Structure formats: structure tokens, C-alpha cells
Chain A
Amino acid sequence: MKKLIPLISLAGVAVSQAAVFSSGELDFGVIIEGGELELEGHVVSGVVDGVQTDDVEFEVGDLEVLAGADRMITVQSGLPAAGVNTGDSLWILPQSQIVGVPYVALASEELTASDWSTFITFTLGSVTSPSGSGTFSMWSNDGLGNPTFYFSSTNAGATDDNNQFESAFSHDHVNWGFTEEGDWSVEITASGTHNTLGDLSATETISFTVVPEPSTALLAGISALGLIARRKRK
């Protein structure tokens, strides 16, 4: 869950401790550390708190992914899995890279395939939406533009495998959909069976903020306060 520090303010605005990822490539991926499965946020190349950042890992809880107002579309035809009807608004972080937009993937490629007897499964857990009734969804489009939904916080039955996404030791860029502005918390569990370590799992909550982009000054202020928590790669 995103942490707020009310004692620290900039121009009277409550400042989030989480580092804001506003554009570039970000992988939420699993690694093995100390015999345990861990889910981390790896900024491959992007902007964190207004600063160009390359090849840096973050604790998932210390990241906040920004979906700006320019990511909103008006839906032309309803899709139950995304929780939208014709004419509804939907914010989408796309599965294709667009300059200035977060390009977010789920990844298991840093694991060694031969060490595992199963693929890695990402499972959607609890989702908190701004209003309490919004829908979070995740899907990919094939080459013809046909969507396959993997996650839907309000309609698991409309997904490919009941809110489970299988990753074959690769990384997969997908579309992330949100039906309303505000702060979202999305719980994801990664799991698999390791040949020697047995069944492993890791659960983290990813924070998304669907708002117009913060001002540059605010982002610079967060950076100056040194509130970015980075994870040291061991």
C-alpha cells in the first residue's frame, strides 16, 4: 500500500513516499533471493520522480505507476472484462511502447527455466479502486487486435484463466485498464514450483495513480527530499 507522510509537504500538498514512475519501461518481475521468490519492480529505462532512471530495481511497494489523463479513451463498444460499456471512460497503459507513457510488463525471465517444474503464474488478488466499485483489468491484443483478458477485478469469469496469467520465463507487455481516476491498489501473487525449493510464491501490491500528470516542480521536490527507496540488487 502506498505510504503517505503528512509531516512532509511541498506547497501544502501531502507528499507520497512512493517513487512515481511516469514513463518508460517497467517490469514487475520475479527473482529468487535467499531461497525465496520475490516480486520486484525493475525500471529498465524510464522516468522516476522526473529523473531519467535506467536499470534500477525497486521494492514494489515503493513505486507508484502513473497513468495520465492522456491515457483515457472513450469506449466504442462494451467489454465486460474491462467493466465498461459503450461511452464509458477507460484509462489504458498500453502494451506497446509510446514515448512518455509507462510501458509495463510482467516478467519471469530472470529465473532459470530448467530450475522449475512449472511455469510462473501471476494471480490477481484484491483490488482497491478509488470509488470502491471500479474495475481493473489486464489484457493483451494479438496481431489482429483481438484482446485476451487475463485479469478482471469484477469479472473473473470473462478472463482467459480465472484471473491467472502464465509466464513462461519471459517478459510480457500487456495493457492495464482502469475505469476511474484516482489511486488504485492491485495485489498480485507470483507462484511456481521450483525443482529443489518446492512451491514458492510472492505477493505484492502495485500502486497505480490515474490522474493528470503531477507538476514538474512537485516531482523535483520529491526527488530532492530523497524519498526514493531503491532496492539493491544482490
Chain B
Amino acid sequence: MKVFPTCYIFGAFCLPLSAVDLVLGHFEYQIDYRQNDAAPDEGWQSSVSYDLDGSFADTEGIVRLDEAGVRLLAAPSTQLVTANPPAGFGEANEPFWILSQNNIPGELFLGWRAVYEQGLFQARVNGNYSPSPLGSISATLLEVGGTGAQRGGKFAMWTSSGFGSLEFHFNTSDGLDDDDRLETIPAGGHSHYNWGFTKPGTYEVTFRNEGRLNPQFGGGDTASEAMLNFVIPHDGVLRGEGAWRLGNGDRGSAAVAVFDDENQVDYASDQVVLIAEGGEFTMVVADAAEDSLGQVGLGSVEEMTFPGDGPVTIELIGQSGPGSVSMSAGNGGTNFEFGADGIYRVQLQASQGGVSGTPFVLTFLSNLEEDYSYAEWADSFERTHQLSGGALADAQADHDGDCLSNGLEYLLFWHGFDPAISDGNLMPKPRFVGGQAEIEFLRDLHKDDFASTPLELSAAFSADLETPWKPWRRLFSEGAADGFYEDGAELGNETSPIMRRRLVVPSASANLGFFRFEQRSRN
């Protein structure tokens, strides 16, 4: 987690300006108000908060993050498709996403919490204020921006209670008006809601928090705005056809971006799955004028060109998979055909005149789905290397003797691991940033969804390689104010189920010496 040196002091609250991606766990959109007679509007403070001991049952140990630096990520498992979406939100048989009001393992459990002194505000009921010994504040939805909204996505927040009745507090499906308000938020109020989105992309949701002070405190209205940033993932899958932008990969820039024109998103080649339906996949050249709203794993794609003129040619320079791979011109683009079902890595290189770009790898699945199991992965690699059936069946074994278990190579697939080739050198390396060590890696949420998949990707540490390895905590740590041990490391503004993550090693600990990734079996 990047922690900037500036610390905003707000009374007893210390609010480090930080940037962090949150994809699971219990967090709150927290509204604090401290009485400020000289400048009432400066009494507001919004944040995304969590609790050091994991409990929101008391007011101790609250850590507040500046919501401007927090991205609230929806895990792929939050996606639903139903013939009966909530009335007034979503479309039948079209995907939409819900961050649930229930605590679902592997997903963000986002609540709404208000902390202010009782008796400061008047109570608001049905739009009318009255002096009150307890009082309440309100929140009005002002605006929803971001690429998700640009794609026509809608935002809503509702509760489901009793016998299934849904009460919408915010819903942009019917536009914004005075009904888009959470009218009565009592002091100490804490609730959980369903947060809904109808398109992938980013959502910048702006609220106005407001209240009327009791007469003894001036009786005036006071308000402040706050914005929550949500990111709804793309599928990260193209079926049968796609488009690519080719560059020379000069100075670390991408040599290829895979463009999904339907969803206006560009992917890095290691964060997208290309499914060859019927064993075929066609790539066309993306029109340079086609804008993408989002990038997954990439920065800007505007500079993806070759320096010269003339046609760009593409050459197949390597392949790995259980069958043959052929590449030909056809269907208006470059046609790939695969001779057997399974997982293929195809290495390509683009050239223009005498200039060759950096080679790149595209991953195709021939008649296989993106959430293939360990067994399907093992079967594909067994056939790729003509191994006997079942040679890779044991996820705990290390077939190629590179000190990485078969299961770990499956979980870290996107780093290029092959369970039949000794390739431990592909393990992501730590780097040192701002005095702490970080290890960037690609987490495939199809393979480990944080909740229910059979295998779990974890980390472990040992002080000296002799002391037994101990599990490293997932994500954020109890008892440490900056204890985000795994954070997002995304390039680009949007996400797919293949997430670029960062394992963070806190700088000050005498017990931390060596780290490794581990696989664990989830019961």
C-alpha cells in the first residue's frame, strides 16, 4: 500500500492519504462530523474505514482511509444474470453486479457508518427538520460518473429485508431526483446495503452528506461532498474473435493490446483469455480511431504503433499446447486454428519493414472455459508433453522438480509456468519501493476466488530458511494500521478476473526474512 507522507489531522482522527484496492473484507463508508462553530462545513470527514481488531462493534481501533485513494473492487463472483432482476434496476438475462448487504466470503462487505455526537443535529423525517436530542444526518446522491456510467451503466443501493421486499435508496435507472436520498442516518448508525451496477467499468459515486444543526448550535444547514470509487470487472474473455493493437514494445511499452470493441476495453495479453470456439479464433486489427474507455493491465494505448510506414506483419515464433497451431490470413484478419482441446500459449512477433517488435504471448483456450479446473489444466499439460495420464494429478507434487508444486504453477499460470518444465526463474521477484519490499504477481480469481475454490494462493515467511514457514496473512492484518499485505497493482483503470496484485512486506520487523508463495487446499 502506498502511504504518502502527508497525514491529514482531523481532531483525534489521523487520516493517512493512501491508495489501496479493496476486493474483499468488511469495510465501511464512514461519515464523521465534529462540531466546528467557526466553519460548520469543515466539520465533515468522509472515509473508507476498517477496524484493527476486525470488529465494528465498538469505536476503538478505527482506521480511516481517504476515500479518494480507495478503489472498491467488485469480485467476479458478484456478477448475476437472472430473468428476474430487481424491479426498476437491471435488465432480464443481462449481467449486473451486487456488492451484497450480506457478508459473503470472497467479496467486499461494504457498510455505511455515521459517527457524530448525539444532539448536534436536528432530526429529519419526511423532509422536515425538528430539534432533537438525538438527531440525524442525510445523504443525497448527486452524480455518478466513470467509465461504467459512460457505457450506460446504472448504480443503485438498496436493502432487502423481511420477506424479500426491496427498498431502493438510490437508483440512477430513473434519473436523479430528491428520491435518491438516504434521509435518516442516526448518530452511531451502521447499516449494510446492496450496491448494484449494471455495466463493467469505474463508477465515481458522489454523495452530499448534510444536516441541520440544532438551534443551540446555530440551527444552520451544513453539508459536504464525498465520492466513492467502485470498479466493476470485465469478463476478461473474448470468444471466437477479437481485435489487437500492435506496437513495437519499445522502452517497455506494450507490444500488443487485445481490444474488446463491444465493451470498449483494452487488455494486456496476460490479463485476458481468448476462447477458440470450435478450435478457431480470429484477430483483426483494431481501428486506431476506436477509443477504449478502459484499460486492463495497460496504460494508454494511443502510442501503440510502429515508427515507420508500411504493413505490419505478424509471425508465429513459438507455441505450446496439446495440439497443432496454425495461423493464416482469413475472416478479414489473422485466423488461428487449434488441433486439440486445451490450453495454448502462442508466441508472436510483429514487424514492420526491418523493425521487429518485442515478442508477446497470447493465451488461447480451445473448447475450454476460462474457469477451467486444476484437473483440466493438468490434462492439457499432460497431453502437451505426452506425459502419462495422471502424471500431474497431484497438486502437491512437483513434477518438473523446480521446487514449485504443480498446484502453485496452476495458480500462478499467468506468469508462464509449465508444470513439465523447470521454470522456477519465472517466479516474480521482489523489488524495493519506498523502503519496503513488494512482489507483484498475477492472481487469477477463476483459480482462487478467495472463498470456495479448492486451491488457495497464499504466501508464507521464514526468518532464516531454517525456522518453519509460517502463513502470511491475507490482505490486511489485524493489529497494524498499515497492514495491507496484499494490495492491487493494476495498470490501467479497469479490472478483469486476472488481477495484477502486490504482496507487501512491511519494512520494520525482526522476524521477517524470506517469503514464498504457497498453495493451500481449501476445505
Contact = CB atoms under 8 A, between A and B. Distances in A.
A94 B165 CA distance: 11
B164 A141 contact: yes
A92 B188 contact: no
28 contacts: A24-B188, A25-B190, A27-B57, A55-B59, A76-B163, A79-B163, A90-B163, A95-B102, A95-B161, A96-B160, A96-B161, A97-B189, A98-B161, A107-B55, A109-B26, A110-B54, A112-B54, A141-B160, A141-B161, A142-B160, A143-B100, A144-B82, A145-B166, A170-B103, A170-B109, A171-B26, A171-B55, A173-B192
Interface of B is mostly: loop
A200 interface: no
Nearest to B186: A99
B190 A140 contact: no
Contact of B162 (A52, A94, A103): A94
A110 B55 contact: yes
B43 interface: no
Contact of A97 (B105, B191, B478): B191
Nearest to A169: B54
Contacts of A73: 162-163
A142 B471 contact: no
Contacts of A92: 161-163
Interface of B: 26, 53-59, 80, 82, 84-86, 98, 100-103, 105, 109, 118, 134, 136, 158-167, 184, 186-194, 196, 471, 473, 478
A89 interface: no
A55 B58 contact: yes
Contacts of A196: none
A45 B164 contact: no
Nearest to B25: A170
Given A73-B162, A76-B163, A145-B160, A45 B188 contact: yes
Contact of B105 (A79, A144, A168): A168
Nearest to B156: A143
A96 B57 contact: no
B190 A44 contact: yes
Given A44-B190, A97-B190, A143-B194, A175 B57 contact: no
Given A144-B86, A168-B103, A109 B163 contact: no
A169 B101 CA distance: 16
A42 B57 contact: yes
Contact of A44 (B57, B103, B160, B166): B57
Given A45-B188, A96-B161, A96-B191, 4 more contacts: A96-B160, A99-B186, A109-B55, A112-B478
Interface string A37-76: 0000010110000001011000000000000000001011
Contacts of A83: none
B101 A171 contact: no
Interface in A74-124: 75-76, 79, 90, 92, 94-99, 103, 107, 109-110, 112-114
A226 B86 CA distance: 48
Q: Size band of the A side of the interface? A: 35 or more
A96 B109 contact: no
Interface of A: 24-25, 27, 29, 42, 44-45, 52, 54-55, 73, 75-76, 79, 90, 92, 94-99, 103, 107, 109-110, 112-114, 140-147, 168-173, 175
Contacts of A145: 86, 160, 164-166
A81 to B, nearest CB: 12
Contacts of B159: 96
Contacts of A175: 161-162
Nearest to B471: A114
A214 B118 CA distance: 24
Contacts of A109: 26, 54-57
B80 A144 contact: yes
A141 B193 CA distance: 11
Contacts of B136: 99
B272 to A, nearest CB: 28
A154 to B, nearest CB: 17
Contacts of B56: 44, 109, 171
A53 B167 CA distance: 28
Contacts of B158: 143
A25 B111 CA distance: 13
A92 B161 CA distance: 9
B101 A95 contact: yes
Contact of A143 (B105, B165, B190, B196): B196
B155 to A, nearest CB: 14
B58 A52 contact: no
A54 B164 contact: no
Contacts of A173: 101, 192
A92 to B, nearest CB: 5
